[in-house]
């Protein structure tokens, strides 16, 4: 039976990935900070008659991140879902730099290091999948968060080329606004956002798993975000910057 490791697995898109993969018969390794919530999710997933392992780790802490890296090297997994992340509603010039650094540590460093730890086992086996949860925010201007997500998307696209022919697929999952705890945790006011702009977590996960099976380097759920993503990539950059300046909800305004 194959094993999937999911970070940020106790809520939102990460939880939807864990539930979906467990329903499909994959053993699951859950990674998140909150041990109590991890145990609750683990108990639920074991109802699908799969093995569930729990790793409580703050991925912004390099020593705790190393525990997850060691797990991936010691017992390679078939699927890695790099989902953990958070946003901060502050201006970079006047905000807390330590918080900005923590966000980079989770959104960039963690993705890079866990992917590097997982790939050798996948390549040796000749099969595997890495799904890096990015965001459509990576195509607009939105401070450190958007810059981090741009890195995740380009990193994933680059690996999809590097690993061609190995049987290993890497996909950047780029959701738009999605109904999760993400914005509430970041204290972002989102009431003004129209309902048509919201996605469901299951919609994002189903699209992502279908796209990684097809070897697609980028996955965008929802017709509205496919159109918006295409526009953001080809509109003149001054216009994209103007759109970014008007987005609702603080620095991390789009994502899970």
Q: Residue ranges of the alpha helices (H) in the chain?
A: 12-23, 35-45, 62-74, 97-104, 110-125, 143-162, 182-185, 201-213, 223-234, 237-245
Question: What is d(CA 23, CA 19) in angstroms, rounded to the nearest whole number?
Answer: 6
* φ, ψ for residue 130, nearest 5 deg: -120, 125
pTM (two decimals): 0.86
Helices (H) and strands (E) in the chain, counts: 10, 7
Asked if 31 and 8 count as a contact pair (C-beta separation under 8 A), the reply is: yes
Q: Please indicate whether residue 145 is annotated as part of the active site.
A: yes
Question: What is d(CA 122, CA 241) in angstroms, rounded to the nearest whole number?
Answer: 39
Q: Which of 86, 139, 145, 155 is catalytic?
A: 145
Whole-number percent of the chain with pLDDT over 90: 68
Asked if 35 and 12 count as a contact pair (C-beta separation under 8 A), the reply is: no
Q: Which fold has domain 3-245?
A: Rossmann fold (3.40.50)
Q: Hey, where are the domains in the chain? A: 3-245
Closest CA to 127 of 159, 161, 170: 170
Per-residue confidence (pLDDT) for residue 186, from 0 to 100 = 42
At residue 226, the 3 state secondary structure works out as: helix
Residues 6+ apart with CB under 8 A from 165: none
At residue 135, the 3 state secondary structure works out as: coil
Per-residue confidence (pLDDT) for residue 13, from 0 to 100 = 96
Residues in the chain with pLDDT < 50?
182-184, 186-188, 190, 249-256
Asked if 135 and 84 count as a contact pair (C-beta separation under 8 A), the reply is: no
Question: What is d(CA 256, CA 251) in angstroms, rounded to the nearest whole number?
Answer: 13
Asked if 218 and 163 count as a contact pair (C-beta separation under 8 A), the reply is: no
Per-residue confidence (pLDDT) for residue 63, from 0 to 100 = 98
């Amino acid at each position: 039976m194959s094993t999937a490791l999911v970070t940020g697995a106790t809520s939102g898109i990460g939880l939807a990935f864990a539930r979906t993969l467990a329903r499909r018969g994959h053993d699951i390794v859950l990674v998140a900070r909150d041990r109590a919530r991890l145990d609750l999710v683990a108990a639920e997933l074991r109802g699908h008659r799969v093995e569930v392992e729990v790793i409580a780790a703050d991925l912004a802490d390099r020593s705790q991140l190393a525990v997850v890296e060691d797990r991936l090297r010691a017992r390679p997994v078939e699927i890695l879902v790099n989902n953990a992340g958070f946003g901060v509603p502050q201006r970079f010039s006047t905000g807390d730099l330590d918080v900005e650094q923590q966000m980079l540590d989770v959104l960039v460093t963690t993705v890079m290091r866990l992917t590097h730890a997982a790939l050798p086992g996948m390549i040796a086996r000749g099969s595997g999948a890495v799904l890096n949860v990015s965001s459509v925010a990576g195509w607009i201007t939105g401070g450190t968060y958007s810059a981090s997500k741009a890195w995740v998307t380009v990193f994933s696209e680059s690996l999809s080329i590097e690993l061609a022919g190995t049987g290993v697929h890497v996909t950047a999952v780029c959701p738009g606004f999605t109904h999760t705890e993400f914005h509430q945790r970041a204290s972002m006011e989102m009431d003004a956002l129209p309902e048509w702009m919201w996605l469901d977590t299951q919609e994002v996960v189903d699209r992502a798993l279908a796209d990684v099976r097809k070897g697609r380097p980028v996955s965008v759920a929802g017709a509205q975000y496919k159109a918006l993503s295409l526009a953001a990539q080809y509109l003149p950059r001054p216009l994209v910057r103007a759109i970014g300046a008007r987005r609702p909800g603080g620095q991390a305004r789009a994502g899970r």
